[in-house]
Amino acid sequence: MTDSYQPIIDREFAEKFLRAADDPFAYPVYLLFHEFWAGAPQSAIDGYLETLHGLPGAEAFLAERHLPEPLTMDDLAACAPGTLGHAFRRFVVDGDLTESLARDYKAFNEQLTSQGALDRLPEDLSYTIVRGFQMHDMLHVITGHDASPLGELGMAAFHFAQLRFPYHAIRMAVTMAHLAFVQPGHTESAMDAISRGWLMGRSIDNIHFVKWEQELHTPLDDIRARVGVTPMLAQAA
């Protein structure tokens, strides 16, 4: 009897996935995201693109291609206490994220594109990941997820619930593999964080298609009330 089995997942990518599952901090998901596309099944690429286009508000978001310049600490320093900008500045300072604030994700993405690494990544998905990196920390502030490992995990689940995006799907897969094969003792705390983030993302309208940089001076409580967010309490590391 002939074995007709044909692998679907690219085996070179699978080896990199296992490396990330061994130690997600040593081999971060953003590397896997960019390495996925060269050998990705076309059905997966088509499925992610179809899902993105089907989200309410996505078509206008994708058509405009809004990508503002990175915010500066001076921009945030001008924001009054109680505003989104003031809370965002505190999040950046407390988490020592000043370098992250200034990082130009657009340039990084363009560099990989020019090198041919993202030839099979659809332009709409490419734009969405760049915009997602721009907004990530600001959505931390709006949702109340802190910058601890569990806070980041909850935030990833929130993103995944709202976007069904491949970056966050890969993040969830790496986390599950790490829990299953390396650190089962962390299962309860990790799954609690994932569940809370996922349910929050499912319970409110999509907030990824908003120009939050234009609302730095809006009271944070008003924003949370408007979008229906009950902020998360601090997570233990």
175-232 pLDDT, tens per residue? 999 999 999 999 999 999 999 999 999 999 999 999 999 999 999 999 999 999 999 7
Mean pLDDT value of segment 55-80: 94
Mean pLDDT value of segment 145-171: 96
103 has a pLDDT exceeding 90: no
Q: How confident is the model at residue 236 (pLDDT cuts 50, 70, 90)?
A: very low
Q: How confident is the model at residue 2 (pLDDT cuts 50, 70, 90)?
A: low
Q: How confident is the model at residue 109 (pLDDT cuts 50, 70, 90)?
A: confident
Q: What is the pLDDT of residues 22-44, one digit of tens each?
A: 999 999 999 999 999 999 999 99
Mean pLDDT value of segment 50-76: 95
Q: How high is the pLDDT of residue 104? A: 74
Contact 129, 67 (CB under 8 A): no
CA 138 to chain centre: 11
Q: Judging by beta carbons within 10 Å of its beta carbon (0-12, 13-18, 19+), is residue 63 exposed, middle or buried?
A: exposed
Q: How high is the pLDDT of residue 85? A: 98
Contact 135, 175 (CB under 8 A): no
Q: How high is the pLDDT of residue 105? A: 76
- For all residues of the chain together, what is the average pLDDT? 93
Q: How far apart are the first and last CA of the chain?
A: 52
157 has a pLDDT exceeding 80: yes
Mean pLDDT value of segment 57-83: 95
Angstrom distances, CA of residue 214 to CA of 76, 133, 218: 12, 17, 9
Percent of the chain with pLDDT over 70: 96
